[in-house]
Amino acid sequence: MKSMENFSKGRQQLLRMALMGNALFSTISGLTLILAGQWVVRLLGLPEAVNLITLGISLLVFAVTLVVFARKKPIKVSDAWIAVLLDLAWVIGSYPLLFVVPFSTTGKWMVGIVAEVVMLFALVQWLGIRRIQKGNMVPEPGR
């Protein structure tokens, strides 16, 4: 039974690492927005009145949620899907902003790069989900 437990843990490792990496990136981003929000506003080329603290707090809440998801043993696939869908929503929401919001050139690059990093987390989390689901499939006898 011990080897089956280790096999299951191994199948969850990719997803666990992706969720924790996403949480770390979200924490760093959230703290940056909270502690250096006006600097980020200037880099983005936004008006001084823009306040990014709410977004920063939201990212910290998201990060804590990801850590909770990643620490569950076993990880619930439904929780992981929530993370993937929220990451995809971030990516899908980022690109229209590039055409609507008057970001500086640096700001456009920042928004685009962050969206690409978030997309990578979504992709690796999805691959982790697939690895778990493939491990849960039982082969038919005689195959």
CA distances from 50 to 1, 9, 32, 102, 135 (A): 56, 44, 15, 13, 47
Question: Residue 77: CB partners within 8 Å, gap ≥ 6?
Answer: 129, 132, 133
- Residue pair 83/22 in contact (Cβ under 8 Å)? The answer is yes
- 115 within domain boundaries: yes
Q: What is the mean pLDDT of residues 107-115?
A: 98
**4 pLDDT tier (thresholds 50, 70, 90):** very low
Q: What is the mean pLDDT of residues 31-36?
A: 98
Quote the pLDDT of residue 70.
98
- 49 within domain boundaries: yes
Look up the domain containing 96 and give its range. Answer: 2-135
- 28 within domain boundaries: yes
Tell me whether residue 82 is exposed, middle or buried, using C-beta atoms within 10 angstroms of its C-beta: 0 to 12, 13 to 18, 19 or more: middle
Q: Average pLDDT of the chain?
A: 92
Quote the pLDDT of residue 33.
98
- 142 within domain boundaries: no
- 53 within domain boundaries: yes
- 143 within domain boundaries: no
- 17 within domain boundaries: yes
Q: How many domains does the chain have?
A: 1
Calpha distance 67→83 (Å, rounded): 11
Question: Residue 86: CB partners within 8 Å, gap ≥ 6?
Answer: 62
- 65 within domain boundaries: yes
Calpha distance 48→65 (Å, rounded): 31
